[in-house]
Chains A and B, each alone.
Chain A
């Protein structure tokens, strides 16, 4: 049973470009969460999605960031017009239910903005 998959593992973008990060949850999990981790910091919650619905995006920056979890396919975190401050590790997690004891994390995507 494959775990949470994220791709790409590393992504380099120049300022002003778009970054698309993908996350495939564990089989049987319909709840997806995105977190951002800056160097030497803990993870910060960004957004929680279920299939075709954004449940909570309170941790998402108001501009340039968006997320989706379509009926078919992976969840996508999209960052438009990236800036250097967007450089971070972005982790996706999934769970069977919102009240599940644990969230299962993917390996993360390390975004570097030049």
Chain B
């Protein structure tokens, strides 16, 4: 499974756009990139998934350059309630054994400041 590297923590003021970048140099051809969000004392929650270029949903955007060695989660106009840990996961791309095993790193702890 591809290893991911992301900042340990980030601070942002309310109303700003937040971009969290994840490095995954060893991503495989059939790997997808998925982001989860976890609030304190809760289970992770799926945010977005992509394979290449740009994906957007009602919560966030995901930017993936052509070489796919990194990805950036973009949260528009964050609020205090976006304070959470954000995990970048790589995998799930093949139908073989283990593709369902979500591999979480330590994530990025985002603190939104009023």
Residues of A within 8 A of B (CB): 4, 31, 33, 35, 40-45, 48, 56, 58-59, 91, 93, 95, 98-99, 101-108, 110
A-B contact count (CB 8 A): 64
User: B66 contacts the other chain (Cβ, under 8 Å)?
Assistant: no
User: B101 contacts the other chain (Cβ, under 8 Å)?
Assistant: yes
A44 touching B104, Cβ below 8 Å: yes
A108 to chain B, nearest CB (A): 5
A105 touching B44, Cβ below 8 Å: yes
From DSSP, what is the main secondary structure of chain B's interface residues? Answer: loop
Residues of B within 8 A of A (CB): 34, 41-46, 49, 87, 92, 95, 97-107
Residue picked from A48, A103, A107, most chain B C-beta under 10 Å: A103
CA separation between A105 and B43, bound complex, in Å?
A: 5
| A42 in contact with B41 given A56-B98, A99-B95, A99-B100 (CB within 8 Å) | no
B43 touching A42, Cβ below 8 Å: no
B101 touching A106, Cβ below 8 Å: no
